[in-house]
Structure 1
Amino acid sequence: MLKRRGTQVSLAIGAGLCALLLGATLSVTTSGFTRKWQSWIQPQPSSLPSQSQAADSAVAALADLSPEQRAAKLAAIAQGKQGADRNRARYLLASDAIRQRQGEKALQWLKGLESDYPELAAYVAFKQAQAYTVSGKTAEAAAAWKSLLRQYPDHPVAAEALFVLGRQDRQYWDQAIAKFPTYPRTQDIIRQRLRQNPNQPKLLLILAKYGINAPGIVPVLNRLTENASFTATLQPEDWEAIAFNYWEHQEYGKAAEAYARAPRNSLNTYRIGRGLQLSGLNSQAYRAYQLLATAFPQAEETATALIRMAQLTPKPINGIPYLDRVISQFPDQAAEALMVKADILEGLGSGKSAAQSRQSVLSQYPKSDAAAEIRWKQAQRQANTGNFLAAWQWAEPITKQNSESEFAPEAAYWVGKWANQIGREQDATSAFEYVLAKYPESYYAWRSAVQLGWNVGDFDSVRQLQPQVVRSGHSSPLPTGSATLQELYQLGQSQDAWALWQVEFKNPTKPTVAEQFTDGVLRVGVGDHLDGIFMLSSLAWREKTEERSQYQTLKQQPAFWQALYPFPFLQPIEAWSQERQLNPLLVTALIRQESRFQPQIRSVVGATGLMQVMPETASWIASQIKLKQYKLDKPEDNIKLGTWYLAYTHREYDNNSLFAVASYNAGPGAVAGWVDKNTFSDLDQFVEAIPYGETKGYVKSVFENYWNYLRLYNPEVSQQVEQVAQASDSYQSAFKF
């Protein structure tokens, strides 16, 4: 299981899924692997606001197709009447020709285009230089690179010319470093120079500031901070950038040391303490929190620091004054402080006082997350005694007063389960529909769909399903970025869009909601699924009212969900799902959870690749299937081995995907023990009773992933979810007694 910044991150068969995502539709029977193909060419419409006019472009609708698939249609548009789409078609045809090393053909499409296509004029010059290069016309190529630099000296794409020309004259590289330090080609220049001479602190500092997600950045930070002659030149603002980079890579102890030398403010001071605490240096962390509380008594970080101080005190009773200060001074965190105080009092044997603290949470802060936690624990206690009506009564306020709490989807789902158990079937139906309307992306939405009898697969039947899948034919527009960026992105020029964004993205340490969304989408576009999905999913952590509103708006857009649930590595997933008779969306869901589609990723215990296969497990599987040579970081091999093992765990448990997925994470031995000891006939209860917290979260995440792929890309399920959402007002009756 992978972790990222403190959080866990961790196919129709045959030609089917790949063809569908490129422009076909599949219909299947649910009892087997029969299928029939129908062509489709109409993409789903986009509704995300944008500065780009390319959103409704016929050319943009072809951007996701391969050069071979789109060539004829693009050529027809390019030879048609003057207009924006004619320019776009010519540009795409030239780009495709360059990739195919047909430079002369590309130059024909590019001739005169810069004057007709001002949004991409600089990139037309860039493509002309590339076309001469792939044609082997050295002199013309050099002239074209210099022309690009002369005409567009301040445009970020000029860094491409500086990179090429710098191979002969290194002064061009100096210009790139001075003018475009964030541009990827410039970062390549810096790394090449550091390989030749690693003792260049100015270059190291540029990488430290602008290469936050670059491969191998932590050794760069170490080299910069462990050399006394280098550190003597660093300013407090430099240390802040270094600290942030360490923090992003979970090097918390080193981040704390760097923050200690950064400008003194409440956030930096808090991170000194937190970094020390996460490194196990509790006494030092306590002193840092004390410094924060003294120097910044009104800061919001101080409230969190006081709560942590209360938890770090050797004598728990000494922590109560810190909590009382939070309760009196910081109303937004008072409920959390009351909960911690209740736990301390209970540990000291003061059960009555602890109960009073918890009651204060319910009476004074009924809309807090702490109140939701109290209610949910009480609901579970009542359910465990068989008093389902009382459990319902405790869970009901969560759906109204704590509807944004992490407990809300689970509470609403179990209201439906408990309603069924006491014979109130209509209330149960309303509860399940409420979950689907209010929390459609949740694991409990899938469980609710199962309870409603939708054809979405249950634990014991999901393996056999072969869902129909249809994806939008082109990318939805971005909420921010220049007109040039928008054009590049809409035309599927992911690498160029990403490179330009590195210059346009001015404040990556404190991005706006629109900037963070754009960054995440563009990362996914260039295959950085780990950080891209993180950037998108962590938008949910925004707390300010305006930012949460912006996030909720983005969540309504297809682009948000399609970026969160992409379809890389279609061919091998599809092929090996067919071979193993596995639901391809379940395989995709598991890969998303295991590796975020990063083929080179390796866990701390050695699990490798897309399906995080352990080397010893791979060796055993290879002996079973007589596979002599393989590489775990090669997608084809990894999926071949991982799907065999997933099919094996299914066979071990009579095709029950709950047990199979749990076994994939925890091992067959552990799951066998749980099955033997567990008397639950209700598999929902089994999931909640899984004793390994990681495995319980893993099971829910994999099936939540599966459900989201299904609700986003299966037309039938998408329509059902939409219908439920449109009628959502009627479901409130499920929570009335």
Structure 2
Amino acid sequence: MPRLLKAPVVLSTLTIAFFLLAFPAGGAASGMDELFTARDWRGVDTLLAQKSGVLSPRELSLAANSLWFRGKWAESLELLERTASHWPQSVKPYGTLMTILGLERTGRKDEARQAAAKFLPAAPADIAYYVAYALYRLTAEEDTAGRRKHLQRMYSLAENTSQQSSALTLLLGLPGDRTAYALNLLSIHPRNSAALKILEALPKPWKAEVNFAVGYAAYLRGQHGKAVPLLKAVPLESRNGRKARYYRAFSLYSQQKYGEALELWSYLARNGSTYAESSIRRISILAGRAQKERALRVLREVAASREGAIKARALYSLSTHASGKEKRELEEKVIALIPDSAFTTRILYNRGWDRWNSGDIKGAVQEWEKSISSGMDGNWRPRVLYWVAHGYERLKAPEKKAAFLEKIRKNHPLSIYAFLSGGDKLSIVPDVPRPLAQDSPSDLEQWGFITYARWHLLARGDAKSLFRAARLAEWSGDHLAAYSAVGRIAGEITRGPSFFRKGMEYLYPRPFLDEVRKAAERFKVEENLVWAIMRQESAFNPNATSWVGAAGLMQLMPATARSEAKALEMKNYNLYNAGQNIILGTAHIARLLKSFSNVEQAVAAYNGGSGSARRWLAGRKDVPLDEWIESVRFEETNDYVRKVMANLHIYRALYGIPRTEGAAPGAPGDVPDDDLETSADGPDPEDRDDEAPLLLDDGGK
């Protein structure tokens, strides 16, 4: 299973009780059950030494798995072989795989190879990949054809991109033509260095797919001069033709070649659907920076020639550059075209703010209430309800204010607006809700094969199974797996009004606890803030890469990371190394906390750049904080601030507010006050890539 976000396992009393219930009824759980559940490996060894001859096959199987978790392959294998004839039918395939791995790890490779070859045709789909992987490892290095055959089988049996990546990475290490493997790997991880090296060594002229792969990687790396000619060589009618044109325009834009960028985006906006709306958005941004008349003319042409959402996007973009009567007319066209849309919501919301800022509170409330619809985006609804409530407060209508605030607290209890409305005291209860209460444990659990039991639960996919899978992941020390499993049933856990602690701790975990605490102490930053940012930036995936090249847990842009590393005298670092990424990211937020007067502004700067945050702050230092957030121009940054601050409130409610010696919670430490930019224009919603340094997994740990 994935070896990510592993941490020392500290099991609570509730967790131990949960697992004790997993074992067979008919009296109290045995000593082996209790010891296995509590991960008391010393106790397991003692009991095994004292009562090996009288323990049941199931208890011996628990002991075998206990030994396996600790890497005691020979001792585990001996018990697996002793108990194999007693395994239930549902356990046999998984015990067989572990036996094969045990034979391999104890040097009995011929036996392991023969067993794997015999087992592969009948292996269940969820472990066949790992059997093929074992056969690859057990094949002599000089047998290139045999190793390639097993790796190709691995690739064909892969059930996810992580497994595909592992197989492709190994295939790249074999001699022969590796072009197809490199292209497939780059389609998953577009900046993979090994694959790019293979493609760049090919004789020219390159085929379209090679030009695209190398050119797109250059774009992601900020090598825009290299990216432009490579992406230009990709024919428009080819599979990646439109994508190549879109990102070539982006590279030209980054080189300030605005006219050329506009031509490319204009074609995509006028023709087809893929990247059309994103191109309209880029044209609108470009109009605010350069080529205004040409850009607006293109938007008008698109609005006149396209239909549906693309037409609405163009009309909306035009409205943001217009004023007075023209702006109103364009907005009315958008509302008529797609009334129940984010565009309409934003138009009415902004109209409300225009009225609010002019002192027309009643008019503001009317506009905001008009925007509330059944199909309204979940992120917008609490935001609008909050300002309607504040409007009624200003209008001296306390009952209406209370009614709207109650809607927020009841229906959106974990939004930032619930906390701003006085809902910061979450009701945390220990009990697991009935819909998630455990079912009877599987044979795999009862016999100790926890990893495979979790895989089965994830495959079942119902709420009870997913919550139980999270429990098993917690027992294994795999926080990412627990977070991922519970994320699929987040609605069950975040419904409120009370929240059960274990589910919330899975959704708001504290992975890399030691690394975060050390960095928080070093830079005098509240550790909850680090996790709040990490959750929003990468969902705790240390291998995440955004479409603009931000990398790792805290999604640092390369330039920001270089500047922070230089200030900290870190000569060598890897943004996909969790500890190093946490140090650099925490140093960066500490720097921003020092530059700005409060956490919200620092968080806005972390996402949108400190220069942008200062522009939003200019002349508004005395504006209430909730109103200042609404002045953040980038919608992505506005949304980011609201989500990170909601995360921070939830982390504080769950875990308290730790004090950092020498600084108040959230206060910055002693870091230089440089103005570092993080991103320019916010994320593109149409395209996002996640690159991961590859981790191989044999399925047996």
The TM-score range, normalised by the shorter chain, is 0.5 to 0.7
CA offset at residue 677 of structure 1?
4.4
CA offset at residue 145 of structure 1?
2.9
Unaligned runs of 5+ in 2: 1-6, 123-127, 253-260, 288-292, 657-701
Residue aligned with 2:372, SS: helix
Q: Is residue 369 of structure 2 the alignment partner of residue 426 of structure 1?
A: no
Separation (CA, whole Å) in 1 of partners of 2:603 and 2:614? 13
Q: Is the 8 A contact 2:64 2:75 kept in 1?
A: yes
2:417 aligned to which of 447, 466, 470: 447
Separation (CA, whole Å) in 1 of partners of 2:647 and 2:201? 42
Q: Is residue 135 of structure 2 the alignment partner of residue 165 of structure 1?
A: no
1:388 aligned to which of 361, 365, 385: 361
Residue in structure 2 matched with residue 410 of structure 1 by the alignment = 383
Residue aligned with 1:180, SS: helix
Superposition pairs of residues 108-187 of structure 1, within 5 angstroms:
108-111=78-81, 112-113=83-84, 116-135=87-106, 138=107, 140-153=108-121, 155-168=128-141, 169-181=143-155, 183=158
1:325 aligned to which of 291, 305, 310: 305
Residue in structure 1 matched with residue 64 of structure 2 by the alignment = 94
Q: Is residue 149 of structure 2 the alignment partner of residue 209 of structure 1?
A: no
Residue aligned with 1:132, SS: helix
Unaligned runs of 5+ in 1: 1-17, 25-37, 45-52, 294-299, 457-466, 478-482, 505-511, 540-549, 623-627, 715-737
CA offset at residue 396 of structure 1?
1.0
Q: Residue deviations 1:489-543, cap 9 Å, x none?
A: 993469x969x99xx9xxxxxxx999xx99xx9999998979x98x999x9xxxx
Superposition pairs of residues 541-580 of structure 1, within 5 angstroms:
565-574=508-517
Separation (CA, whole Å) in 1 of partners of 2:449 and 2:651? 23
Give the residue type in structure 2 aligned to 1:324: A
CA offset at residue 307 of structure 1?
5.8
Q: Is the 8 A contact 2:136 2:151 kept in 1?
A: no
Change (3 A) 1:180 1:608: closer
Residue aligned with 2:329, SS: helix
Residue in structure 2 matched with residue 592 of structure 1 by the alignment = 535
Residue in structure 2 matched with residue 274 of structure 1 by the alignment = 246
Residue aligned with 1:157, SS: helix
Change (3 A) 1:242 1:691: closer
Change (3 A) 1:617 1:64: farther
Residue in structure 2 matched with residue 262 of structure 1 by the alignment = 238
Give the residue type in structure 2 aligned to 1:124: G
Residue in structure 1 matched with residue 255 of structure 2 by the alignment = none
Q: Is the 8 A contact 1:276 1:282 kept in 2?
A: no
Q: Residue deviations 1:88-112, cap 9 Å, x none?
A: x766653442342322331244234
CA offset at residue 248 of structure 1?
12
CA offset at residue 597 of structure 1?
4.1
CA offset at residue 437 of structure 1?
3.7
Q: Residue deviations 1:431-455, cap 9 Å, x none?
A: 23323444445xxx23322422533
Change (3 A) 1:602 1:657: same
Q: Residue deviations 1:292-334, cap 9 Å, x none?
A: 45xxxxxx5597599689979937446545423334xx3x555
Q: Residue deviations 1:373-427, cap 9 Å, x none?
A: 2101101111112222211111112222552265333222211222223333333
Separation (CA, whole Å) in 2 of partners of 1:568 and 1:377? 39
TM-score if structure 2 supplies the norm length?
0.63
Residue in structure 1 matched with residue 312 of structure 2 by the alignment = 335
Larger RCO: Structure 1 or Structure 2 (Cα < 8 Å, ≥ 6 residues apart)? 1
Give the residue type in structure 1 aligned to 2:313: E
Residue in structure 1 matched with residue 73 of structure 2 by the alignment = 103
1:704 aligned to which of 638, 646, 655: 646
| Number of aligned residues | 591
Q: Residue deviations 1:209-238, cap 9 Å, x none?
A: 256445853662574377357956x9xxx7
Residue aligned with 2:129, SS: coil
Superposition pairs of residues 186-585 of structure 1, within 5 angstroms:
191=169, 194-195=172-173, 197=175, 200-201=176-177, 203-209=178-184, 212-214=187-189, 216-217=191-192, 220-221=195-196, 223-224=198-199, 227-228=202-203, 258=234, 260=236, 262=238, 270-271=242-243, 273-280=245-252, 281-287=261-267, 292-293=271-272, 301=274, 304=277, 314=294, 316-317=296-297, 320-327=300-307, 330=308, 332-340=309-317, 342=319, 346=322, 352-363=325-336, 365-401=338-374, 403-404=376-377, 406-441=379-414, 445-452=415-422, 454-455=424-425, 491-492=450-451, 565-574=508-517, 583-585=526-528
CA offset at residue 569 of structure 1?
0.6
Q: Residue deviations 1:706-732, cap 9 Å, x none?
A: 245467889xxxxxxxxxxxxxxxxxx
Q: Residue deviations 1:335-377, cap 9 Å, x none?
A: 3343345457x48xxx545423322333453212221121011
Separation (CA, whole Å) in 1 of partners of 2:163 and 2:354? 59
Separation (CA, whole Å) in 2 of partners of 1:62 and 1:334? 65
Give the residue type in structure 2 aligned to 1:587: V
Separation (CA, whole Å) in 1 of partners of 2:231 and 2:62? 45
Q: Is the 8 A contact 2:61 2:448 kept in 1?
A: no
Task: Kindly report the root-mean-square deviation, in angstroms, between the aligned alpha carbons of the 2 structures.
Answer: 6.3
Residue aligned with 2:510, SS: coil
Change (3 A) 1:651 1:361: closer
CA offset at residue 614 of structure 1?
4.5
Change (3 A) 1:678 1:333: closer
Give the residue type in structure 2 aligned to 1:398: S
Give the residue type in structure 2 aligned to 1:323: A
Q: Is the 8 A contact 1:259 1:269 kept in 2?
A: yes
Give the residue type in structure 2 aligned to 1:336: R
Separation (CA, whole Å) in 1 of partners of 2:111 and 2:72? 19
Change (3 A) 1:678 1:119: same
Residue in structure 2 matched with residue 23 of structure 1 by the alignment = 11
Residue aligned with 2:306, SS: helix
Q: Is residue 600 of structure 2 the alignment partner of residue 658 of structure 1?
A: yes
Change (3 A) 1:307 1:205: same
Change (3 A) 1:260 1:662: closer
Separation (CA, whole Å) in 1 of partners of 2:211 and 2:444? 29
Q: Is the 8 A contact 2:525 2:590 kept in 1?
A: yes
Superposition pairs of residues 627-646 of structure 1, within 5 angstroms:
635=578
TM-score if structure 1 supplies the norm length?
0.60
Give the residue type in structure 2 aligned to 1:423: K
Separation (CA, whole Å) in 2 of partners of 1:552 and 1:278? 37
Separation (CA, whole Å) in 2 of partners of 1:556 and 1:245? 42
Give the residue type in structure 2 aligned to 1:23: L
Residue aligned with 1:23, SS: coil
Change (3 A) 1:680 1:244: same
Separation (CA, whole Å) in 2 of partners of 1:195 and 1:271? 29
Separation (CA, whole Å) in 2 of partners of 1:362 and 1:63? 62
Q: Is the 8 A contact 1:256 1:275 kept in 2?
A: no
